[in-house]
């Protein structure tokens, strides 16, 4: 099994899906939000988007975790831009991505249901503007978030070559 990174905008369900997927696959789980340095959390809590200089050391920490789990692990991490995913791949070349997709409206509704999170809903539009979907040469799948967590996890297990129990026919 390869390491997996569940990616998407804030509120797409990365943490929930990532934890459920790790449990299903019986591998370690980590949330990249927990690896942010305090100054990044303070900046986002104040309603300011991070810039690439803020993200670089954070993504290095995420990449280090992935490299430490070459036989499998699940990380929830926004990784909205191709270059961020490239940075993670430098640490873990075999990483697979699960991109959680949904409309701005659907994600905003989900985000509204989690009060107290450090990423304010006001930054959602900037996240969608930043989002660069997985490209054909990137290993991974896109999954619609407009279904239950269990359905999302089952779809991942069926479609990902990194997941035990998937078959070549299901990896489409």
Q: Is residue 27 part of a domain?
A: yes
Q: Are 96 and 3 in contact (CB under 8 A)?
A: yes
Q: Is residue 81 part of a domain?
A: yes
Mean pLDDT of 109-115: 64
pLDDT classification of 165: cutoffs 50, 70, 90: low
Average pLDDT score over the chain = 87
11-20, 44-53, 62-71: which range is least confident on average? 44-53
Q: Is residue 1 part of a domain?
A: no
Number of domains observed in the structure of the chain:
1
Q: Is the pLDDT of residue 109 over 80?
A: no
Task: Work out the percent of the chain whose per-residue pLDDT is above 90.
Answer: 64
Q: Is the pLDDT of residue 36 over 50?
A: yes
DSSP 87-141: HHHHH-TT-EEEEEE--HHHHHHHHHT-TT-SS-GGGHHHHHHH--PPPTTSSEE
Domain that holds residue 160: 7-171
Q: Is the pLDDT of residue 135 over 90?
A: yes
Q: Is the pLDDT of residue 38 over 60?
A: yes
pLDDT at position 161 is 78
Q: Is the pLDDT of residue 167 over 80?
A: no
Q: Is residue 2 part of a domain?
A: no
Q: Is residue 85 part of a domain?
A: yes
Q: What is the CATH number of the domain that holds 116?
A: 3.40.50.300
pLDDT classification of 46: cutoffs 50, 70, 90: confident
Q: Are 21 and 74 in contact (CB under 8 A)?
A: yes
* Cα–Cα–Cα angle for 95, 96, 97, rounded to 5 degrees: 125
Q: Is residue 73 part of a domain?
A: yes
Q: Is residue 140 part of a domain?
A: yes
pLDDT tens, 76-90? Answer: 999 999 999 999 999
């Amino acid at each position: 099994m390869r390491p997996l990174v569940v990616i998407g905008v804030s509120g797409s369900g990365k943490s929930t899906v990532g934890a459920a997927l790790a449990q299903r696959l019986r591998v370690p789980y980590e949330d990249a939000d927990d690896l942010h340095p305090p100054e990044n959390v303070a900046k986002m809590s104040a309603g300011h988007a991070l810039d690439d200089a803020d993200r670089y050391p954070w993504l290095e920490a995420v990449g280090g975790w992935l490299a430490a789990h070459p036989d499998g692990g699940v990380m929830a991490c926004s990784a909205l831009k191709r270059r961020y995913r490239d940075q993670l791949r430098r640490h873990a070349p075999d990483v697979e991505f699960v991109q959680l997709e949904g409309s701005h409206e659907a994600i905003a509704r989900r985000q509204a249901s989690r009060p107290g999170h450090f990423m304010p809903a006001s930054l959602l539009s900037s996240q969608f503007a930043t989002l660069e979907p997985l490209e054909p040469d990137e290993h991974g799948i896109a999954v619609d978030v407009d279904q239950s967590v269990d359905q999302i996890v089952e779809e991942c297990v069926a479609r990902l070559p990194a997941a035990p129990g998937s078959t070549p026919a299901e990896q489409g």
